[in-house]
Structure 1
Amino acid sequence: MIKIITKVTLAVLLLAVSVSKAQNFQGQAFYKSKTNMDGSLKIESSSMTEEMKQKFMESMKKEFEKEYILTFNKSESVYEEEQKLDAPEPSAGGMMIKMENSNDGKIYKNIKDKVSITEEEFFGKEFLITDSLSTYQWKIEGESKKIGEYTCYKATYTIPVSEKEKEEYANFKNKQTDSKTQFLMMDEPKEQLISVWYTPEIPISNGPGEYWGLPGLILEASFDKTVVLCSKLILNPKDKLIIKVPKTGKKVTKSEYESLVQKQMELMNSQRGDGKDGIRIEVHR
């Protein structure tokens, strides 16, 4: 009888230690993002030589090659671009290329409270976008593969075209007839397939960007022509990781921010719509 009690007590203690470790589980995942822009970019400008266009294209492509760090624990995470001290490179005609609204802001996710907070800079102004955490109805595909030493499983999610996207595209097409050229072009919206690979060996329901909601850390994500791949992991480091909630910028909702961006794009189009020495950029997905 004493032996049975001893065994039960030991089992309870081991379970308590296991739960404690799970609650304190933390780490960092380093991701590399790359977008295949071959055949997707088109530039039209009467004021740029072919050499300038080529340099412009190269600079644009670099804007789609980023490195990020996801710092996480069981319930919170911060996803942000890795800061580097590389010297700036000149681009076509002395212009520096910076993709506005390229979603490079710091993203904070609180899985417990289902809250997302994002810091974004748009045309020199900082915004703090607060929203409910996006919900993904993942479909487990039954495929597996190794990423590094971890066994990963495939899951997909299809984002349908919203009525708002259809309306915005219809408005764009109508306004196209009112000007000779457009500074930025818009493709007809289509369903977007998101494919991810997650590993239950890292019991964190999290991943790069806004992605989460699977029984394991997402190590790879593919959408449009972009692939985000985990290149390095640090689990349970000796020094405790601090996850800071973003606080910089004007507080807005996601819909308010998207409306602001849309208005700015329309303003840019109207200002460049005279066809005189403007730069026409088309991005095809």
Structure 2
Amino acid sequence: RLQINDQESLFKMQESMKNEALSGFAFTRIMAGFSGTYYSNSQEDICLNQKNAFGRDFIISSKMSSIKWQLSKEQKTIKGFKVYKATGFETIKNNSGEHEISIIAWYTPEINLAFGPVNYVNLPGLILELKRNRNTYTVDSIEEKEVIEIEKPSKGKQVTQAEFEEIGAKVMKNLGSN
């Protein structure tokens, strides 16, 4: 579920979020690939991913503007909204090295909020569909509420993505030497 107010968004990968008091954009997860809670704040230009990894809680921080989007005139309709295609790339590190992966986002300027699922943000409208490798998220429903209170994640050691990858590499190295 993606919850949004004017400056913040919160995306949680929980199948069981059926709380009537919560408002937002419900996404259908076609394939998994992300974990934890994702927070974005446009005023602070920050994205946070709170998750448990390597037996510890972490808050991984990055900038909202980290992906440079290429906007396209290609369009289609999702849930009655005209959406436009944007493509971007990001570099990920894993055991086999660095890889550049493509991201395709379909956003609607009709909902003038620069947020989307996970921490894919910073387009001129709400992202209603997102494809990253074999993972696809598509908006399932949209609900509007008067006031949405969003709580910034605070549980865990705050690290950058590079620091988190370094911790992961050390853990994997230690596992390999046992």
TM-score by length of 2: 0.81
Determine which of 198, 209, 213 is the counterpart of 2:118: 209
**AA in 2 matched with 1:113:** E
Give, in whole Å, the separation in 1 of the partners of 2:153 and 2:175: 29
Please name the residue that 1:270 is paired with.
Answer: 177
Contact 1:134-1:210 at 8 Å conserved across structures: no
**AA in 2 matched with 1:243:** I
Shift in Å, 1:205: 0.8
Shift in Å, 1:219: 0.5
Identity %: 30
Determine which of 104, 110, 124 is the counterpart of 1:195: 104
Give, in whole Å, the separation in 1 of the partners of 2:89 and 2:49: 23
Give, in whole Å, the separation in 1 of the partners of 2:9 and 2:109: 18
Larger % of strand: which?
Answer: 2
Give, in whole Å, the separation in 2 of the partners of 1:108 and 1:131: 10
| Residues 1:250 and 2:171 aligned together | no
The two structures, once aligned, show a CA RMSD in angstroms of 2.2
Give, in whole Å, the separation in 1 of the partners of 2:109 and 2:129: 13
* Structure 1 residues 1-285: aligned runs within 5 Å: 69-82=1-14, 84=16, 103-159=34-90, 165=93, 186-187=95-96, 189-235=98-144, 237-238=145-146, 240-271=147-178
CA spacing shift, 1:158–1:130, aligned 2, 3 Å: closer
SS in 1 for 2:76: strand
Shift in Å, 1:136: 2.2
Shift in Å, 1:153: 0.6
Give, in whole Å, the separation in 1 of the partners of 2:62 and 2:98: 23
SS in 1 for 2:143: strand
SS in 2 for 1:191: strand
Offset from partner CA, 1:152-181 (integer Å, 9 cap, x none): 11111133x58xx5xx7xxxxxxxxxxxxx
**AA in 2 matched with 1:153:** Y
Shift in Å, 1:81: 1.6
**AA in 2 matched with 1:120:** K
Contact 1:103-1:120 at 8 Å conserved across structures: no
SS in 2 for 1:204: coil
Gaps of 5+ in 2: 18-32
Larger % of helix: which?
Answer: 1
Give, in whole Å, the separation in 1 of the partners of 2:135 and 2:62: 24
Gaps of 5+ in 1: 1-68, 86-101, 169-185, 272-285
